[in-house]
Amino acid sequence: MVGKNLEQILKEKWLRLGLSTLDEKGYEYIKIADLCKQLNVTKGAFYYWFKSKQEFDSCLLEAWRSSFTQQFIAFSSSGQSSQEKLSLLVTRCIEGLEKSSRLEIEINMWAQKDQKVNQFVQQVYQQRLSYLMDLLSDIYSPVEAKRHSLMLYCLLIGCDLFFRQLTRQEAELIFRDYLLKVEQ
């Protein structure tokens, strides 16, 4: 069992490096030889974990979905009410904005060049939007839940594309209607 855990950790190391490269440089810079050089291993080590570059790309996309969709949803699900879950989700998104990541932008650029990636990304975005709509349907009427879901998602995307990094205070100001009010 310990071997399985170590194997999973080593595979995740490849995927973290892939996500980091994608975030910092873009998909075009994810080359097997470069990844191997950064990890100080041979190409054979890469092929031990992944049958092909295409399999690595698929695992990379799954790692992105897990880290930036499923984990966000799991984190927010710890809230008791839909309002609390929404507040936790928005707080996690604000924390993500603070990291000044280009990952979502780079994923979208990759999706524009590859139909399979585009389909995968569309499924992730639909999952995110559906989760938002489910949360908001407990707070608003169906029409308002849809409106707020679309508005929130568009706001988040807009924050990623903003010409400069927003401060935490600015992000909280933008999303304040969706954060729980803390009594002082």
Q: Report pLDDT for 1.
A: 45
pLDDT at 49 over 70: yes
Which residue type sits at 6? Answer: L
pLDDT at 140 over 70: yes
Cβ pair 14, 35 in contact under 8 A: yes
pLDDT tens digits, one per residue of 153-182: 999 888 888 888 899 999 999 999 898 754
pLDDT at 97 over 90: no
Locate the domains of the chain by residue range.
52-178
pLDDT at 60 over 70: yes
Fold of 52-178: Tetracycline Repressor; domain 2 (1.10.357)
Read off the pLDDT of each residue in 6-33 and give the average, rounded to a whole number. 91
**C-alpha distances in Å from residue 103, one per residue of 41, 64, 100:** 25, 9, 9
Q: What's the token pair of residue 38?
A: 């950064």
Alpha carbons 73 and 132: distance in angstroms, whole number: 9
Confidence band (pLDDT; 50, 70, 90) for 147?
very high
Cβ pair 74, 137 in contact under 8 A: no
Alpha carbons 93 and 72: distance in angstroms, whole number: 8
Which residue type sits at 136? Answer: L
**Burial category of 172 from C-beta neighbours within 10 Å (exposed 0-12, middle 13-18, buried 19 and up):** middle
Global confidence as pTM: 0.88
